[in-house]
Structure 1
Amino acid sequence: MSACRAPRRLTSRRRITLLAAGAAAASLTLSACGDGASGGSSQTRFVQGKNGVATVKKDDRQPVPELSGETIDGKKLDIADFKGKVVVLNVWGSWCGPCIAEAPNFAKVANETKGKGVQFVGINTRDSEKSQAAAFEEEHKVPYPSLFDPTGRLMLRFPKGSLNPQSIPSTLAIDRHGRIAARSIGPLAEDELRKMITPLIAEK
């Protein structure tokens, strides 16, 4: 009898693991290409603006998690290497309509703010092949690197209660000290993107 129990326990553990993985995947699937926005609270300590951009006061900002890996063009990239700069982190997919709509805005603002200590970085997700993401970057003349994250594992690294990416596209603004200062859920117009990062450029 005991020889039969061990396989059943192992199967149960596997089932729990698969269910947990499925729940995480479902959570990301439901939020794909979303345009909703979450409000702030006393626990999250961020304030949801009328334009869909949530911001955090300097003293309440949480550090961005470790985000590193391989870029679409096969190079190594670590967000921590950009400490001292304002980092604009955009989560996107080549299959996502709102991502296509906002791409020219990001390319333009990235080029214009590069000399002001701003570094744009993308996180490409849900593209099964790098070639899909590379074609998107070429078509839209994206001037900055993107981490290749087909399974969405990098998005799951953000701490609970922080300004974490909750849809595709999502955009995070990270201050010069490596802390999450603002987040937008959904596509951004050019003026909205500028309003999101201009205060951080002015910070010391």
Structure 2
Amino acid sequence: MSACRAFRRPGPRRRITLPAILAAAAALSLTACGSGDNPKSGGQTQFVQGTGGVSVVSDKGGRQDAPDLSGKTLEGKELDVAKDYKGKIVVLNVWGSWCSPCRAEAKNLVNVANDYKDKGVQFVGLNTRDSDPAPAIKFEKEFEVPYPSLYDSAGKLLLRFPAGSLNPQSIPSTVFIDRDGKIAARAIKALTEEELRKTLDPLVAEK
């Protein structure tokens, strides 16, 4: 795809940038996608733009805190990522049941989630733009997703990511949170198994 457009409505064949989800946050409307943007560093945050739209903060001291990611899952259960998965590496995948690239990467996420569950890694989905949870639940059953997804149809949780951080900027996006609850990496594209493992392995090895 040579160009990306601001989000208007879900389309079946392209990765969609996140919308201006709330009227009060209209200025948050994003148009960048593809290989990723490279925002200016804020405070001590410094990250390097990797190939294929994967950005990494290799210096632990330069990482920003992940925001409060809590709410109800697609099944209606309460989930607080920071409390429920304290001390674990969290892989947060932003997705929608209507998103074709999300379907393409689903099996990769499932395979790696199963392979890394005994390595202190917890995958969490963040479902957005699904006005009804039913299609999203069907998606999870179809791909045998073994991890929960927060239901964020209006995108309120996405707005909690700090400006200038490695925040989700497209659907799909994947954010990697280290054991200390800080944002260590971000991908703004559908990921292969190899890319997931390549990003996770250094985090697993960290002490």
Tell me the distance in 1 between the aligned counterparts of 2:191 and 2:21.
Answer: 32
Residue 51 of structure 1 aligns to a residue whose secondary structure is helix
Q: Structure 2 vs 1, CA of residues 195 and 75 (structure 1 numbering), >3 Å: closer, same or farther?
A: same
Provide Cα deviations, 1:61-88, integer angstroms capped at 9, x if missing partner.
0110001000011111001121211100
Cα distance in 2 between the residues matched to 1:99 and 1:126:
13
Deviation at 1:194, TM superposition (A): 0.6
Matched with 1:7 is none
Quick check: which has more Rg, 1 or 2? 1
How do 1:2-151 residues align onto structure 2 when only pairs under 5 Å count?
21-22=22-23, 24=25, 27-28=28-29, 30=31, 34-39=33-38, 41-43=40-42, 44-56=45-57, 57-81=59-83, 82-151=85-154
**Of Structure 1 and Structure 2, which has the larger fraction of its residues in helix?**
1
Amino acid at match of 1:51: G
Counterparts of 1:102 and 1:30, CA distance in 2 = 22
Distance 2:97 2:179 in 1: 29
**Misfit runs of 4+, over 4 Å:** 25-31
Q: 1:42 to 1:154 in 2, by over 3 A?
A: closer
Q: For 1:28-73, what per-residue CA distance to the aligned partner results, in whole angstroms no more than 9, with x for missing partners?
A: 5756xx4340125444511101232101121100110001000011
Check 1:20–1:29 CA distance in 2 against 1; reply closer, same or farther (3 A cut). Answer: closer
Task: Give TM-score scaled by structure 2 length.
Answer: 0.83
Deviations 1:130-172 (A, max 9, x none): 1111000000111100000000110000011111000100001
Q: Between the two proteins, what is the percent identity of the paired residues?
A: 59
> For the residues of structure 2 that align with 1:123 and 1:29, how far apart are their CA atoms?
18
Amino acid corresponding to residue 62 of structure 1 in structure 2: Q
Does structure 1 conserve the Cα–Cα contact (< 8 Å) formed by 2:172 and 2:188?
yes
C-alpha separation in 1, matches of 2:39 and 2:205: 24
Amino acid at match of 1:49: G
Counterpart of 2:170 in 1: which secondary structure? coil
Query: For the structure 1 residues 196 and 22, does the alpha-carbon distance in structure 2 shift closer, same or farther, using more than 3 Å as the test?
Result: same
Q: CA deviation at 1:20?
A: 9.7
Which residue, out of 156, 164, 171, partners 2:174? 171
CA RMSD, aligned part only? 2.0
Cα deviation for residue 24 of structure 1 reads 3.5
> Is 1:157 aligned with 2:160?
yes
Aligned length: 184
Any stretches of 5+ residues in structure 2 without a counterpart? Answer: 1-19
Displacement after TM superposition at 1:22 (Å): 3.6
Secondary structure class of the residue paired with 1:188: coil
- Distance of 1:116 and 1:146 partners within structure 2: 20
Could you list the runs of 5+ residues in structure 1 that have no partner in the other structure? 1-18
Q: What residue identity is the alignment partner of 1:111? A: N
Using the size of structure 1 for normalisation, the TM-score is 0.84
